[in-house]
Amino acid sequence: MKRIGMLTSGGDCQALNAAMRGVAKALFNSGEKVEIYGFQDGYQGLIYGRFKLLTYADFTGILTKGGTFLGTSRTPFKTIQVPGEDGVDKVAAMKQTYYKLQLDCLVILGGNGTHKTANLLRTEGLNVITLPKTIDNDLWGTDMTFGFQSAVNVATEAIDCIHTTAASHGRIFVVEVMGHKVGWLTLNAGIAGGADIILIPEIPYDIDKLAKKIKERHDGGSRFTILAVAEGAISKKDAELSKKEYKKKLSKRTQPSVSYEIAEELGKRCGLEVRVTVPGHTQRGGSPCPYDRVFASRLGSEAGKLILKNEYGFMVGYKNREIVKVPLEEVAGKLKMVDPDSSIVKEAKLLGISFGN
């Protein structure tokens, strides 16, 4: 008999349901008696004991559905050990729920913050298996996270649509892609969508270099320019500030985001019409693409296999085209950033894409 708790935490993404279905099917089909408890809205459900016993039927018909049928929420790691306004000791409460239900293991689907808490629960003695979700693809220890490829599709489609209108009007367009800390999504959607300029947090830009690139394009006969800009893109000047100074500067920002600042500056420098498009949360929404359906199903079923073997304390990830188990302590608290000297960045540059550096 296996008793499993399952939760999805942090920002949602496509293929969360596919991954949970993968775990459940592998367990239910094993022949072993299994009970799966689904916690509502991530760690909140575990803290406050909001759960439901799930049946096989709960996991059917959800492969293609975006979002998470369990609901999710952000429970920041930095506050997990601090009692809330209601005085609840969150870690103790999560342990209590776990022991009360006599769980053998928690299956936790999430990104960076989620993994820090999952690892904390592991050190507190709970059995934990995690699955890597995020459209940012920034989790350490795995080459790929589910949600990423679907988000690349959405962001690419946005850039594709902008292409036709930008060409008609001869405008500069800034398309803002999600990713505050890392640029994988912007880099991939930018290349896929044929962006002329890609700005990511890992490669600070020089606004004058961007203006020069646009002028060169226009002098060469191109009527429009498309920039794929990550939410966390940063100028060279700002990158020289300390974290504290930069935070202070951001708190005084008058524009909604970096894309609008860039648009304003380019408008002044290039004398052309500039527009900003923000696909925003559409990048996390909708049905998972086939890659993510397959990938999340594989990760889920491998997680089921580990549970059946009583192997805990791992994230099920993907390395060198193989599904692997990565110790949670190696994953928690680390980000997988884009290396500015990586081959993908160099290849993008060979295609004529500017990073503004």
- Contacting residues toward ligand F6P, per CB under 6 A: 11, 111, 134-136, 178-180, 231, 284
Q: Of 12, 86, 89, 136, which residue is the catalytic one?
A: 136
Minimum Å gap between C-beta 8 and ligand F6P is: 13
Question: Closest separation between CB of residue 21 and ligand F6P, Å?
Answer: 22
What number of H helices and E strands is found in the chain?
13, 11
Provide the minimum distance between the beta carbon of 281 and ligand F6P in the complex, in angstroms, as a whole number: 6
Please give the single-letter amino acid code of residue 41.
Answer: D
- Closer to ligand F6P by CB, 5 or 288: give it: 288
Torsion of CA 35, 328, 134, 287, to 10 degrees: -30
Q: How far is the CB of 158 from ligand F6P (least distance, A)?
A: 14
CA 54, CA 190: separation in Å to the nearest integer?
Answer: 41
Q: Considering beta carbons, is residue 111 or 288 the nearer one to ligand F6P?
A: 111
Residue 119: strand, helix, or coil? helix
Q: Where are the alpha helices (DSSP H) in the chain?
A: 16-28, 43-47, 90-100, 112-123, 148-169, 184-192, 207-219, 236-239, 243-251, 258-270, 290-308, 328-331, 343-350
User: Closest Cα partner for 23 from 295, 307, 288, 311?
Assistant: 307
Q: Is 345 helix (H, G, I), strand (E, B) or coil?
A: helix
* Comparison of 83 and 280: residue with beta carbon closer to ligand F6P: 280
Angle of the 184-192 helix axis to the 343-350 helix axis, nearest 10 = 30
Minimum CB–partner distance for residue 295 and ligand F6P (Å): 17
C-alpha distances out from residue 193 to 13, 145, 276, 327, Å: 21, 21, 16, 36
**Dihedral, CA atoms, 56, 57, 58, 62, nearest 10 degrees?**
110
Nearer to ligand F6P, 134 or 354 (CB): 134
Q: Report the residue number, 4 or 229, with the smaller CB distance to ligand F6P.
A: 229
CB burial of residue 312 (10 Å; 0-12, 13-18, 19+): middle
Q: State the nearest-atom distance from the C-beta of 122 to ligand F6P, in Å.
A: 22
Catalytic annotation present for 292: no
Q: Which is nearer to ligand F6P, 179 or 356 (CB)?
A: 179
Which residues are known to be catalytic?
A: 136
